[in-house]
């Protein structure tokens, strides 16, 4: 090779043009087109064939017209390309020649051919080894059919053309792949002639230097290096041209002044048939950045491992020695790292309590002998201070290319508190389970007791009801006996007593039916009034009106209210002259007390009664029950009949006002 010079060769014969790549590509295309046109021209020399066209079959199956002869522009407008689905493309894809003989316009399926004056027609696929690469269409304006001799000549031409087209396509594909390879490889590619000028560069070189490929062509290779290292670069390039040196570590200079660290390797060879130096420059910026990132990552990893509470270790299975043990082992068990790495060395398994050693060895044996790559073991180990710690050891077995275990690496974590918490949780669950079972037993016992109490209460209620009925029966017999001897005062006394007992019986019946819950006072009014009416005036009940709020009274005060209502209703029946009797009861309640007003349409109270000068047993009963049992008050007045107003506090009497007050 020639001696290196520091100046680029200005000879235009040795300096590539800026459109070198494009020209090479167009040249490859023109060769294919020239071959197809040559085929068409050769076919035109066959007797009778005076017009036609040649198509290239695209990879999609479409047909593209390459050249035509003796066809009008109007006709050519309809045939420049045929889609893969067209009848023409389907005929060519089938690979069999089509010969059309002219028998008149009525037999021709192509109106365009008739307008063009075409008669005999041939469509011959161009193929090689059953691969269709194009088609030759021949037509005649003068003859009606191509004879056998003509057909044979056409078939010979297309067969030879098929071989040539396939070869050109392969060459074009190869050249295209080489061009793509040059442009996609990440390394910078330079082709340098013996004079040291760049005659080819790829896209990666242009991107790295911030210049275009055309701008690099003809540039001296030494101009890519920084001036201060020109002498060093000159010596290295001369050695590459001489074949005595293969690599160069001098950086290259981008157009913006950035120094790009590269490793350049060169081999001597040929380019376009001439000696050349083929150089590849690998950008080392990314490598150095990755190396720096790796060092940084290593530093961070070491910091994390050094300060972590999780112990990391690496055990060489060939020597059975630890090659690494993180400092966390001292914080965990109190032993310094050197106890595991130095002499005499300590093993982790030496610290395992005897009861756990056999179980802890099983995962290790499974991993090293049974081909498993990962495992874990849990055991108790003695710390330097004599305490017992529960450890979880997760490990991985690293094997060589032959599958032989070489290292066991892993992490050790202290789970003493976790296991203690789990044990406490299990004990707590056991206690709660015992409490739940005891509660269930007590609940079952309570249900049984409640059922027994309900049966007992039912029996008591039944007996009380029967006893009250028996007492009423005896009083009625006594009253009838008194009536027989005409003792009216005593008979009335017994009747009043029977009414009071009847009122208590009514209350008892209601309470029994409602399981001794709070009762609506208005319901008591209705029940007591109707009960009295049935005795005092059978068949002629009073007109009863009950208004006010839905006030309820607890069971313990229901009897007092019932006796009060019985006395007032009985008194109304005794002294009322009007028929029918009208009784109006108004019940009001608020957050403070209950007000019950009872009135009838009778003659009202005598003035002596209102003045307190005369008092009856019934009114005495009402006043006593109001003041003592209900802790309230009673007042009398006349208002178009007798009216009694009773007030008692809700809290004192235990009365309750309903959720909705009307």
Query: How many other CB atoms are found less than 10 A from the CB of residue 9?
Result: 17
- The secondary structure element, H or E, covering residue 326 is none
Residue bearing the bigger pLDDT, 453 or 542:
542
**Residue 487 clears pLDDT 60, i.e. is over it:** no
Least Cα distance to 252 among 286, 229, 275 occurs for 229
**Residue 14 clears pLDDT 70, i.e. is over it:** no
Task: Read off the pLDDT of each residue in 142-155 and give the average, rounded to a whole number.
Answer: 90
The predicted-structure confidence for 179-200, as pLDDT tens digits, reads as follows 677 777 888 999 999 999 999 8
Q: What does the block give as tokens for 237? A: 């390039």
- What pLDDT is stored for residue 137 in this prediction? 92
- The secondary structure element, H or E, covering residue 183 is helix 148-184
What's the CA gap between 494 and 617, in Å, rounded? 13
Q: Which residues pair with 262 in a beta bridge?
A: 283
- The secondary structure element, H or E, covering residue 452 is helix 416-484
- What pLDDT is stored for residue 657 in this prediction? 41
Mean of all residue pLDDT scores within the chain: 80
Q: Is 363 helix (H, G, I), strand (E, B) or coil?
A: helix
Tokens 């760049």 identify what position? 198
Expressed in angstroms, the distance from the first to the final Cα of the chain is: 122
Pick the range with the lowest mean pLDDT from 71-85, 215-229, 366-380, 491-505.
491-505
Backbone φ and ψ of 585, nearest 5°:
-125, 130
- What pLDDT is stored for residue 173 in this prediction? 65
Measured in whole angstroms, the distance separating CA 317 from the mean position of its chain's CA atoms is: 44
Q: Is 342 helix (H, G, I), strand (E, B) or coil?
A: coil
**Residue 74 clears pLDDT 80, i.e. is over it:** yes
What's the CA gap between 560 and 552, in Å, rounded? 13
The predicted-structure confidence for 584-617, as pLDDT tens digits, reads as follows 999 988 757 889 999 988 888 888 888 888 777 7
Q: Would you place residue 382 in the very low, low, confident or very high pLDDT band (cuts 50, 70, 90)?
A: very high
Highest mean pLDDT among 176-185, 296-305, 429-438, 537-546: 429-438
Task: Read off the pLDDT of each residue in 49-69 and give the average, rounded to a whole number.
Answer: 90
Pick the range with the lowest mean pLDDT from 146-160, 396-410, 421-435, 532-546.
532-546
Tokens 């756990």 identify what position? 356
- What pLDDT is stored for residue 7 in this prediction? 41
> Under a CB-based contact definition with an 8 Å cutoff, are residues 83 and 62 in contact?
yes
Q: Would you place residue 567 in the very low, low, confident or very high pLDDT band (cuts 50, 70, 90)?
A: confident
Instruction: Locate the DSSP E strands across 235-283.
Output: 247-248, 252-253, 259-260, 262-271, 274-283
- For residue 197, the 8-state DSSP code is B
**Residue 39 clears pLDDT 90, i.e. is over it:** no
Q: How many CA atoms lie within 13 A of 200 on its CB side?
A: 18
Query: How many other CB atoms are found less than 10 A from the CB of residue 71?
Result: 17
What's the CA gap between 240 and 252, in Å, rounded? 16
Q: Would you place residue 13 in the very low, low, confident or very high pLDDT band (cuts 50, 70, 90)?
A: very low
Contacts with 92 (C-beta within 8 Å, 6 or more apart), sequence order: 55, 57, 63, 123, 125, 132, 134, 135
Least Cα distance to 387 among 416, 410, 359 occurs for 416
Residue by residue, DSSP assigns 501-561 as HHHHHHHHHHHHHTTT--EEHHHHHHHHHHHHHHHHSTT---EEEEEE--EEE-HHHHHHH
Q: How far is CA 560 from CA 456, 632, 648, in A?
A: 25, 12, 12
What's the CA gap between 140 and 122, in Å, rounded? 9
Query: How many other CB atoms are found less than 10 A from the CB of residue 494?
Result: 21
Highest mean pLDDT among 9-23, 156-170, 445-459: 156-170
Q: What does the block give as tokens for 1? A: 């090779």
Query: 488-513 and 555-575 helices cross at what angle (nearest 10)?
Result: 140
- What pLDDT is stored for residue 69 in this prediction? 92
Q: How far is CA 623 from CA 560, 619, 636, in A?
A: 11, 6, 10
**Residue 80 clears pLDDT 90, i.e. is over it:** no
- What pLDDT is stored for residue 468 in this prediction? 57
Q: What does the block give as tokens for 332? A: 């965990």
**Residue 403 clears pLDDT 80, i.e. is over it:** yes
- What pLDDT is stored for residue 577 in this prediction? 67
> Under a CB-based contact definition with an 8 Å cutoff, are residues 333 and 393 in contact?
no
For the purposes of burial, counting CB atoms within 10 Å of the CB of 517, is it exposed (0-12), middle (13-18) or buried (19 or more)? exposed
- What pLDDT is stored for residue 457 in this prediction? 56
**pTM score:** 0.34
Per DSSP bridges, beta strands 582-589 and 543-548 are parallel
- What pLDDT is stored for residue 659 in this prediction? 33
Tokens 């002044």 identify what position? 257
Pick the range with the lowest mean pLDDT from 190-194, 284-288, 366-370, 461-465.
461-465
- What pLDDT is stored for residue 177 in this prediction? 65
- Summarize the chain as % helix, strand, coil (round to 5): 50, 25, 25
Query: How many other CB atoms are found less than 10 A from the CB of residue 543?
Result: 10
Per DSSP bridges, beta strands 81-82 and 63-69 are antiparallel
- Number of helices (H), then strands (E), belonging to the chain: the values are 19, 26
- What pLDDT is stored for residue 309 in this prediction? 83
Pick the range with the lowest mean pLDDT from 65-69, 124-128, 379-383.
124-128
């Amino acid at each position: 090779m020639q001696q290196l010079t520091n100046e680029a060769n200005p000879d235009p014969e040795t300096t590539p043009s800026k459109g070198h790549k494009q020209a090479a590509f167009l040249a490859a295309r023109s060769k294919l087109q020239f071959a197809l046109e040559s085929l068409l021209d050769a076919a035109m020399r066959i007797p009778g064939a005076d017009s036609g066209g040649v198509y290239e079959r695209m990879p999609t199956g479409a047909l593209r017209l390459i050249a035509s002869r003796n066809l009008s522009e109007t006709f050519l407008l309809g045939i420049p390309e045929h889609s893969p689905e067209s009848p023409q493309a389907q005929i060519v894809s089938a690979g069999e020649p089509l010969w059309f003989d002219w028998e008149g316009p009525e037999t021709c399926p192509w109106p365009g051919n008739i307008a063009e004056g075409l008669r005999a027609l041939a469509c011959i696929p161009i193929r090689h080894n059953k691969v269709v690469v194009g088609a030759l269409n021949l037509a005649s304006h003068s003859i009606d059919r191509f004879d056998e001799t003509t057909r044979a000549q056409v078939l010979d031409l297309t067969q030879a053309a098929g071989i040539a087209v396939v070869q050109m396509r392969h060459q074009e594909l190869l050249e295209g792949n080489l061009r793509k390879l040059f442009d996609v490889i990440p390394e910078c590619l330079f082709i340098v002639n013996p004079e040291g000028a760049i005659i080819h560069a790829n896209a990666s070189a242009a991107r790295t230097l911030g210049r275009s490929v055309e701008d690099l062509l003809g540039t001296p290779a030494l101009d890519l290096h920084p001036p201060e290292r020109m002498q060093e670069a000159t010596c290295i390039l001369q050695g590459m041209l001489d074949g005595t040196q293969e690599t160069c570590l001098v950086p290259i200079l981008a157009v913006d002044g950035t120094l790009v660290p590269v490793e350049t390797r060169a081999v001597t060879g040929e380019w376009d048939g001439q000696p050349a130096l083929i150089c590849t420059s690998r950008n080392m910026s990314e490598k150095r950045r990755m190396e720096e990132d790796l060092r940084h990552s290593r530093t961070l990893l070491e910091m994390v491992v050094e300060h972590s509470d999780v112990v990391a270790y690496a055990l060489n299975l060939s020597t059975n020695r630890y090659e690494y043990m993180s400092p966390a082992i001292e914080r965990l068990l109190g032993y310094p790292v050197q106890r595991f790495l130095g002499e005499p060395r300590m093993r982790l398994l030496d610290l395992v309590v005897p009861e756990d050693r056999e179980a802890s060895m099983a995962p290790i044996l499974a991993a090293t002998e049974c081909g498993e790559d990962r495992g874990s073991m849990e055991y108790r180990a003695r710390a330097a201070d004599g305490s017992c710690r529960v450890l979880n050891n997760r490990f991985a077995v690293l094997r060589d290319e032959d599958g032989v275990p070489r290292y066991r690496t892993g992490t050790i974590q202290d789970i003493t508190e976790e296991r203690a918490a789990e044990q406490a949780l299990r004990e707590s669950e056991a206690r709660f389970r015992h409490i739940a079972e005891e509660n269930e037993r007590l609940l079952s016992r309570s249900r049984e007791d409640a059922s027994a109490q309900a049966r007992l209460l039912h029996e008591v209620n039944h007996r009380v009801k029967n006893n009250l009925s028996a007492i009423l029966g005896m009083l009625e017999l006594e009253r009838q006996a008194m009536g027989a001897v005409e003792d009216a005062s005593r008979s009335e006394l017994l009747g009043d007593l029977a009414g009071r007992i009847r009122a208590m019986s009514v209350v008892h019946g209601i309470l029994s039916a409602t399981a001794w819950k709070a009762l609506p006072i208005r319901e008591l009014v209705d029940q007591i009034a109707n009960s009295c009416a049935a005795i005092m005036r059978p068949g002629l009940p009073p007109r009863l009106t009950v208004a006010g709020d839905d006030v309820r009274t607890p069971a313990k005060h229901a009897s007092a209210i019932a006796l009060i209502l019985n006395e007032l209703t009985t008194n109304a029946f005794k002294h009322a002259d009007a028929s029918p009797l009208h009784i109006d009861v108004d019940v009001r309640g608020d957050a403070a007390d209950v007000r019950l007003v009872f009135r009838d349409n009778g003659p009202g109270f005598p003035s002596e009664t209102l003045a307190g000068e005369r008092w009856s047993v019934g009114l005495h009963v009402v006043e006593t029950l109001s003041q003592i049992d209900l802790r309230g008050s009673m007042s009398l007045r006349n208002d178009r009949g007798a009216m009694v107003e009773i007030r008692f506090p809700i809290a004192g009497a235990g009365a309750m006002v309903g959720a909705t007050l009307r």
